Structure 1
Amino acid sequence: MKSIKYFLFPIYLACFMPLAAQNIVSGKVFLDKNGNGIQDRSEHGMNAVPVSNGRDVVLTDKDGNFSISVADGESLFPIFPSGYTFASGDIIRSSDFIFGTMQQKNNVHFALKKEKQPEHFTLGVIGDIQMGNPQELDYANQSIIPELAGRKDIQLAVWLGDLVNNRLELYDDVRDMIRCTEIPSWALPGNHDRVTNGHTLQDSLFNCYFGASAYAFNYGNVHFIVLNNVAPDSKRGYKARISDRQMAFIKNDLLYVPKDRFIVFCQHIPLVYTENLRELTQLLDGRTKLFALSGHTHRVSRHFIQVGNAVMQELVAGATCGHWWVGEKDWLGIPSALMQCGAPRNYFTIEFSPDDYRINFKGVGLDSERQMDIWVQGCDTIDRHVKDFRIYRRGEILANIYGGSDSTEVSIQIGNNPAVSMEKVEVTAPTVARQNQWYRDKIYPTKISRRSPLRKSASSHLWHFKLPENLMPGIYPIHIKAKDSYGFSVSGVRIVRIEDTDTPFDWKKKR
């Protein structure tokens, strides 16, 4: 693993500081060629680098100097130009300093280094790892963390909040786990990452470990804007809202972002559920290259937000903890944690190119080609015991295409027959219906597992088809293709045996 330098002393001093009057902070952004954190004589300041306090944005002068007002408890950070990052070499990237007291420091310097950033790059999108105890830390350390560590094709990652499940004392472990992936990573807070005991600065402890909770950076040809849209609501509650301070930051930041630049918003709660979304879309009017990444729901879904004459796609990325690390345990002792939408525990990768992007679902521990499950009524005799399946006759098919959306067109080909369209439906995913039946029959949970809180609710990515009745008995491949114009294209295959009968199951047959 690459060496990591720690700059935690000034960060810890900033924790739990009350807000104070604004104070002027001066500093410099410089190119740190030798990585020692000090500006040597041969190292020059960097001109026109944006620096922000999370609201205002100023540019450095020709010598790299800047001056900006910062209050106690606020974050101060540079907005990395494309091709640059912190010289410290730390995997966790955001602000390098959380401002504490004016007696502590009123002069802050940022050491940057050049970094190779290709125009074609892959972003890892990790939603809701949400660990609440050491056992769940171990579940992650057996599954998602080593999988990410083994991927050399991901250039950077965004962790979309709910890093812990209200157990903020686990932050130290979580930060070290992310570092073990060796993927340069940016993080943002979720509703379970807050200090909620009446504290004014609910993201203060998150700031201590992971830096600013709202910031921006550039990578390749993409400008990322990271938001904290978890707003306090009553003593312990929350709502989805972008604060006035963050709205001002977005407006000020966009002044320095070219109109033709890709802009990607990252936040915990989906923008479609954010109460002042309209205010955000008004700031974006006239821009066309827009994309959003969210977590929170523990389901995979995609939404499309109108922005002037353009459309901003929002990918709700599901959860790497699935349905909160519960459900029947597999052969490794890790809970299946099937999500309500019928998708397995997952993350996404996004392949960016200069003018486009491609969305890739990745089930944790599953082959990358596993983009759907295809259920056929009548193939598995155990399904006769699932009451929710009684509405389907033998040969009816449900395809759960994990990354699908309302804009996705799905076709199915049976053997050598011509491909035809499938119908999008809103029903409970077969895998969820089956597990719910085992809970009703008290087959699940087994002694070593915890019951999953699955409900009888519809998945947003299911398609239906009925096998032709005139198919001759035999073995047939089922090929399904799904594609839309928003960076999504997948395929799947299943083999089915057709019997010489169309008789429905005898539901009264004894087990």
Structure 2
Amino acid sequence: MDHDQESGLSRRDLLKSAALGGVGLALASGDARAAATAQADGSSATVRGIVFEDTGSTGIRQADSRGVAGVLVSNGREVVKTDADGGYTLPLRDETIIFVIKPAGFTTPVEADTMLHRFYRINQPSGSPAALNLTFEGIEPTAPLPASLDFPLTRQDEPAQFEVVLFTDPQPQTPAEVDFIREDVVNALNGTPAKFGMTLGDMMFDDLSLYGRYNGIIATLGLPWYNIGGNHDLNFEAPNRHYSRETFKRTFGPPYYAFAYADAVFIMLDNVDYLGTDPKRPGGAGKYEGRIDAAQMDFVRNLLAEVPTDKLLVVTLHIPLRTYIDPEDPAQNLTNRAEFLKLFEGRPHNVSFSGHTHTTEHHYLDAADGWTGPQPHHHHVLTAVSGSWWSGPYDHRGVAVADSRDGTPNGFHILSIDGTSYTTRYVPLKEPNGRQIRLSVLSHLHSEMRRDYRPGALIEPPIALAAVPSTTLVANVFDGGPKTTVTMRIGTAEPKSMVRKAIPDPFVEDVFARNESVKKAWVKAEVSSHMWTVRLPPTLGPGVHPVRVAATDQYGRVQHATLALEIAT
């Protein structure tokens, strides 16, 4: 059955439009200038429709379909609420995406073969400009919108306690690295009780033709999946931000959007501000900075005007609000962080997540960052699925070991939500028994003599008795941060506090130094934000000493690591 002027989209049209970017349309994450022009041009064009309860799961509004009141719908800038009959009206620009903001207790249509939500309709009558000569397929010219652009919702149970899988930077550069995702990640999640998952950018490493295979692999988890784009998910031929997400839009839909689940509202943003091709960079890649553009600022502001303050806000971005790697680099940090954070004034329940740096970091932002809440804002930079961009030696499966440059094993996080409270936990993909701490012993000879010793010999026992006074125990608490406390106990002695210290992980220094042939050229050990150290007691005698390290995280959970510390005579 084809749609008519009143009934909206048929199931066949839903699937057809999904192939072109879904049942919705994303504001082509345009630059601020283009968006401002569209808003100020005095156009009276509007789009209107009905958000309805799809009791028959047909995707088509029937004569007896009931409208759903109080649902938010957006054109990427304005946000309106449906009336008592489920009706909405929004300004319509030549290039935009109209999308419904999934309310709690409902779901939008999910494609079985991709597990992607189709909650939008792309309106781009001219399609992606042919003059751009895009390497990867963009948007075909879209058909005129129906007189009533309707969105189906289906009821679902949403418990206050639920879990979400958080990925960032899977970033396969080759088909073989897509294999790594299948073998390393998907198999680790089979049977997960999580309600849905999300990837916070860099699904690809520039080759956007791999999206289809990647989505099919992730879909085998059986979880609905949400995505935002990273700096490697761009159409590099675009001169600026405006047309830099054409392939992303075709595949995933709006570059930024929001949805609710139980008592949480997820705000999915695109803060990669593309500045155009840089001839000095390989592969036609361009420069970019971390920035929330004017259209998204308006979207968030208008969204929050409709969201009660007793909801948990979960904000996701690709580029961090701030990173330890280089806090001044505009390509690594959100350049308009203070302006952005002001949008959340008076919101007591909040957390934000990002990726991009292939490090694991916890930040607690305060007034110096533009945050005005009574408690610091927790920003969590997540572990990269690809770790060191799939660098390193291969394990017995032929999968790259991929330890990250800050010493964190590649992996992902699980976000656990209970009402307006949350916790996260880190899942390493190759550590035995899900180990959360790695211990090394480091003498002053470490860096000078690495070449003369077998792998690991300078960061593992045994150590010479004469070297004890100059030897330091190093603990990499993989998901540790400023609120983590760490102690060390040797035998039955009193525990000693370990000190957080910004140093590279000696284990990863060793791994990278000895595996140059299977390491990406730019990968090197970086200063890590989650290292703790303590000097060994100089009176420690020969023999084997049991060492136990305990790390308490911000949620009060305790992780342990043990080491048989052997001291030679």
Scaled to the shorter chain, the TM-score interval is 0.7 to 0.9
Query: RMSD between aligned alpha carbons?
Result: 2.9
Q: Report the counterpart of residue 215 of structure 1 in structure 2.
A: 257
Residues 269, 40 of structure 1: alpha-carbon distance in 2 compared, 3 angstrom cutoff: same
Q: 2:209 aligns with which of 160, 169, 176?
A: 169
CA distance in 2: counterparts of 1:409 and 1:210, whole angstroms:
41
Answering whether residue 161 of structure 2 is matched by residue 140 of structure 1, we say: no
1:261-297 per-residue CA deviation (whole Å, 9 max, x = no partner) reads 1111101000221111111111111222110010100
How far is 1:338 from its partner? 1.5
- Give CA-to-partner distance per residue, 1:317-343, whole Å, 9 cap, x none: 021111111221111111112111011
Match of 1:238 in 2: 288
Query: Does 2:266 correspond to 1:224?
Result: yes
Structure 1's 483 and 450: CA in aligned 2 closer, same or farther, altered over 3 A?
A: closer
2:89 maps to which of 58, 67, 82: 67
CA contact (8 A) 2:409 2:431 kept: no
Partner residue, 2:67: 45
Distance 1:393 1:336 in 2: 33
Q: Does 2:178 align with 1:178? A: no
Share of identical aligned residues, percent? 27
Q: Deviations over 1:18-68 (max 9, x none)?
A: 988863111111111221112334431100100011110011111111111
Tell me the equivalent position of 1:265. Answer: 315
Q: What's 1:197 paired with?
A: 237
Q: Distance in 1 between matches of 2:407 and 2:171?
A: 19
SS of 2:557's partner is strand
For the 8 Å contact 1:147–1:365, the answer to whether it is kept is no
- Contact residue 37 and residue 88 of structure 1 kept, 8 A: no
1:463 aligns with 2:538: no
* CA shift digits 1:241-269 (9 cap, x unpaired): 00100000011000111112111110100
Does 2:160 align with 1:119? yes
Distance 1:58 1:212, change over 3 A: same
- Structure 1 position 98 matched with structure 2 position 122: yes
Matched, 1:427 2:487: no
For residues 474 and 258 of structure 2, what CA distance do their matches in structure 1 show?
A: 41
| Alpha carbons of structure 1 residues 438 and 295: separation in structure 2 relative to 1, 3 Å | same
- Kept in 2: contact 1:5–1:88 (CA 8 A): no
Segments of structure 1 that go 5 or more residues without pairing to the other structure are 502-511
In the alignment, what sits opposite 1:339? 404
Q: CA deviation at 1:103?
A: 4.8
Deviates more, 1:245-254 or 1:402-411: 402-411
Would you say 1:275 and 2:335 are equivalent positions? Answer: yes
Q: What is the CA–CA distance in structure 1 between the aligned matches of 2:111 and 2:218, rounded to whole Å?
A: 14
Equivalent residue for 2:552, pick from 483, 493, 506: 483
Q: Which residue does 1:506 correspond to in 2?
A: none
**1:319-370 residue CA offsets vs partner (Å, 9 max, x unmatched):** 1111111221111111112111011111111111124222211112445641
Match for residue 313 of structure 1? 378
**Cα deviation digits, residues 461-481 of structure 1 (max 9, x gap):** 000012334445554433322
Question: Would the alpha carbon gap of residues 276 and 407 (structure 1) be closer, same or farther in structure 2, given more than 3 Å must change?
Answer: same
- Deviation string 1:351-397 (CA, Å, 9 cap, x unpaired) is 111242222111124456411111134899754568xx999866521
Q: How far is 1:6 from its partner? A: 8.8
CA contact (8 A) 1:95 1:212 kept: no
* Cα displacement (A) at 1:169: 1.3
In 2, Cα distance between equivalents of 1:368 and 1:500: 29
Q: Which amino acid aligns with 2:509?
A: A
Number of aligned residues:
488
Q: Is the 8 A contact 2:109 2:119 kept in 1?
A: no
Which range is displaced more, 323-332 or 240-249? 323-332
Change (3 A) 1:237 1:499: closer
Distance 1:159 1:205 in 2: 16
Q: Could you tell me how far apart the structure 1 residues matched to 2:166 and 2:269 are?
A: 15
CA–CA separation in structure 1 for the residues paired with 2:458 and 2:309: 57
In the alignment, residue 27 of structure 1 is paired with which amino acid? G
Q: Secondary structure at the match of 1:186?
A: strand
Which of 20, 35, 43 is the matching residue for 2:57?
35
Q: Which amino acid aligns with 1:49?
A: V
Cα 1:435–1:453 change in 2 (3 A) is farther
Residue in structure 2 matching 1:323, options 388, 392, 398: 388
User: Who is 2:493 aligned against?
Assistant: 417
Given residue 281 of structure 1, which amino acid in structure 2 is its aligned partner?
A: L
Is the contact between residue 108 and residue 119 of structure 2 (CA under 8 Å) also seen in structure 1?
Answer: no
> Does structure 2 retain, via aligned residues, the 8 Å contact 1:287–1:310?
no
SS of 2:300's equivalent? Answer: helix
Q: Deviations over 1:390-417 (max 9, x none)?
A: 9986652100001111222112222332
Q: What is the rounded CA distance, in whole Å, between the counterparts of 1:25 and 1:117 in structure 2?
A: 30
The one-letter code of the counterpart of 2:120 is: D
TM-score by length of 2: 0.79
2:192 alignment counterpart: 152
Provide the rounded CA distance (Å) in 2 between the counterparts of 1:73 and 1:415.
68
Runs of 5+ unmatched residues, structure 2: 1-10, 126-141, 278-285, 323-332, 447-452
Q: Quote the Cα distance in structure 2 between the aligned partners of 1:354 and 1:13.
A: 36
Query: What residue is the counterpart of 1:58 in the other structure?
Result: 80
Q: CA–CA distance in 2 between the matches of 1:174 and 1:353?
A: 31
Letter in 2 for 1:364: L
Task: Give SS of 1:340's match.
Answer: coil
Question: Retained in 1: the 8 A contact 2:165–2:197?
Answer: yes
1:505 is matched with none
Query: What corresponds to 1:349 in structure 2?
Result: 414
With over 3 angstroms needed to count, the CA separation of the structure-2 counterparts of 1:94 and 1:414, relative to structure 1, is: farther
Deviation beyond 6 Å, 4+ runs, structure 1: 14-21, 378-381, 389-392
Q: Distance in 2 between matches of 1:243 and 1:297?
A: 21
Q: Identify which of 25, 47, 67 aligns with 1:25.
A: 47
Give the partner amino acid of 2:343. Answer: L
Cα separation, 2, equivalents of 1:396 and 1:476: 15
The CA deviation at 1:217 is 0.7
| Alpha-carbon distance between aligned partners in 1 of 2:12 and 2:475, rounded to the nearest angstrom | 48
Q: Is the 8 A contact 1:358 1:488 kept in 2?
A: no
Read off the aligned partner of 2:313 and give its amino acid letter.
Answer: I
Q: Distance in 2 between matches of 1:367 and 1:256?
A: 46
SS of the residue corresponding to residue 243 of structure 2 reads coil
Equivalent pair of 1:359/1:488 in contact (CA under 8 Å):
no
Query: Aligned pair 1:492/2:556, yes or no?
Result: no
CA distance in 2, matches of 1:130, 1:341: 18
In structure 2, what is the Cα distance between the partners aligned to 1:26 and 1:392? 75
**Which sits farther off after the overlay, 48-57 or 418-427?**
418-427
Letter in 2 for 1:151: G
